[in-house]
Amino acid sequence: MPERSSAVVGWFACRGMDAVCDGDACVIAGSHKAMRVFVSRAAGGDASAFTVKKTSFGEVMTGLKLGSAYSFDEEAYNRFFPLARQEGLGLGPEDFSEPGPTGVHLVRVQWQPWVRARVGGLFRSVMRMVRRG
């Protein structure tokens, strides 16, 4: 995974420890310019306090494994999902033709507990990926 891990999948924005989010999901935009648009909307027009940074596939995967949720725009998702598939995750292409209530279609990705299976007397959680448009 080393090459995949360092592959840039998009940009996120933060002000201190606060990231630009769609609900509880960190927004990952496909370009610096697109992220600036999200920041402007989130900040009510004053985006100067936010820093926009690149994020890699490895950083997103680490966040997912720790329970974070991400909302990808079309460009970022189309960079992310092929790499995720190579890691064995069941993600595929998404239909971005409907703009959504805010005028932008985002796809949410988050690890979710799926089933508790008994293994050798111990219970473990089996995780699955959830996609929502």
pLDDT in tens, 25-76: 999 999 999 999 889 887 776 778 899 999 999 999 999 988 899 999 999 9
Instruction: Work out the average pLDDT over 75-83.
Output: 96
pLDDT value at position 119? 46
pTM summary value: 0.81
Q: What is the DSSP letter of 43?
A: T
Domain ranges of the chain: 2-132
**Concatenated DSSP letters of 51-62:** EEEEEEHHHHHH
